[in-house]
Structure 1
Amino acid sequence: MNQDLLGRVALITGAGAGIGRETAFQLAARGAIVCVNDLKEELVTPVVDDIKSRGGQAFGIALNIAIREGIREAIQRSFEHCKRFDILVNNAAWVRYQAIPEIMPETVDRMLDVGFKSVIWSLQEAVAVMDPERGGSIVNVASVAALRSAANSVVYSGIKSAILGITRAAAAELGGRNIRVNAVCPSAVPTEGTQRNRNAERDANRIARTPLGRLGTVEDIARSICFLASDDAGFITAQALTVDGGITLTNI
């Protein structure tokens, strides 16, 4: 893999598993110094150790980014550790699918804290530490649920739709500082977090409706995130890149 991100500092939230973990691996393989963030040390440490065993550079920050002070400290510590800050991947999420009559206030509050508010607070902190001339790249992980929704996903679809709005507005505001802001919209991919909502019948149905004839993988999504973070996407901002094998726009 090329080293096009050599020396750049990247923070990935929710990097202890799934898409976040694979993104950490791929960013490190491309030369970035990766800050692995997740809620618990036991999630962070194995990812950092794995990156180092592959010859990459990484350090871990176990903090709760669902609170404003947590994401502020994570970004500040990343900057202080490396004296620069270049790439932010807002990947963390906490998800529950519930029918409308079953939605509880505590569910909404936690999903908003992790998946919505943390993105806003992270933008504030990233702007404060990104070099005004060198700029940087922010990639928000949304979902195809922002484009095409299913039953029992009112809160999740609402939050992911809002992430696209945040992405566009932030790109408009931060372009003058050479900060690009984009989003990826993955379809459902097999991860530890999606396991509870998947079964063989659902997977087979999804594969049958997908033009490329397979489920996506965490590697597919991570490659897209790395692209948007890199100079290859240097004139791309305010975009939502759908990474779904074609399923969203080819089924009516």
Structure 2
Amino acid sequence: MTKVLEGRAALITGSGNGIGRATALRMAAMGATVGVNDLKPEFVEKVVGEITAAGGKAVAVTQNVATRDGMRSAVLGFAEKQGRLDILVNNAAWVRYQAVPDIAPETIERMLDIGFKGVIWGIQAAAEVMDAERGGAIVNVASVAGFVSAKNSIVYSGIKAGVMGITRAAAAELGARKIRVNAVAPSAVPTEGTQRNRNAELDARRIARTPLGRLGTVDDIAKAICYLASDDASFVTAQVMAVDGGIITTNI
């Protein structure tokens, strides 16, 4: 793989599994030093081990990024150790789908803390340490649920639509500092974290509605994130890239 991220320092929140892990592996293969973040040390150690075993560079960032202090500690600590921060991927999330009568305050608060507030705190901390001359790239993980929604997803859809708004506003504010801010919006992607919300019948319906005739994979999303983080996207900012096989903009 071409080392287009050689010399870059990239922190990826929630990279102990799923899309975050796939992105960490890919960025490391592209030459970046990757900060692997997760709340669970065993997840972090496993991914760091995978990267180093393949000849890449990775460091453990075992930190709860659900608070401003936690996110700042993760971002600023990683940047200090590496002497720089070039890329931040705001991927961490905690998701529960609930029908309107069942939505609980604790569910909303936890989802907001990690998936909405965490994105803002990550951007704030990254903007503080990204070099004024080099700039940097921030990629937020949104969802097609920010465009089109299904039942039982009021909180999730609202947060992901909010992430899209955060992305555009941050890009407008930080562009003068050469910091690009973009987002990816995946459709349903099988991961460890989404298993509880999937079944064979639902997957079959999604596949039937997708022009490319399959579900996305974590690698599909990781490739899009890595593109947006690289110099190949040097004139791309404030964009939300749907990585969904065409499901939200076609009617078949």
Q: Deviations over 1:159-193 (max 9, x none)?
A: 00000000000000000000000000000111001
| Amino acid of the structure 2 residue aligned with 1:221 | I
The percent of aligned pairs where both chains have the same amino acid is: 67
Distance 1:205 1:102 in 2: 25
Displacement, 1:80? 1.2
Displacement, 1:251? 2.3
| Amino acid of the structure 1 residue aligned with 2:186 | P
SS in 2 for 1:241: strand
Equivalent position of 1:225 in the other structure: 225
- Map 1:106-121 → 2, pairs under 5 A: 106-121=106-121
Equivalent position of 1:188 in the other structure: 188
Displacement, 1:32? 0.3
Distance 2:188 2:117 in 1: 23
Moved more, 195-204 or 220-229: 195-204
Distance 1:251 1:51 in 2: 40
Equivalent position of 1:206 in the other structure: 206
| Amino acid of the structure 1 residue aligned with 2:216 | G
Q: Deviations over 1:125-144 (max 9, x none)?
A: 10110000100000000000
Distance 2:201 2:188 in 1: 14
C-alpha RMSD of the superposition:
0.7
- Map 1:136-175 → 2, pairs under 5 A: 136-175=136-175
Distance 1:38 1:125 in 2: 17
Distance 1:121 1:215 in 2: 31
Equivalent position of 2:36 in the other structure: 36
Equivalent position of 1:126 in the other structure: 126
Distance 1:113 1:43 in 2: 21
Distance 1:251 1:11 in 2: 37
Distance 1:101 1:201 in 2: 25
Distance 1:153 1:186 in 2: 15
- Map 1:69-108 → 2, pairs under 5 A: 69-108=69-108
The structure 1 segments of at least 4 consecutive aligned residues displaced by more than 6 Å after TM superposition are: none
Q: Deviations over 1:60-99 (max 9, x none)?
A: 1111000111110001111111101000000000000000
Give the number of aligned pairs.
252
Equivalent position of 1:16 in the other structure: 16
Q: Deviations over 1:105-131 (max 9, x none)?
A: 000000000000111111111011000
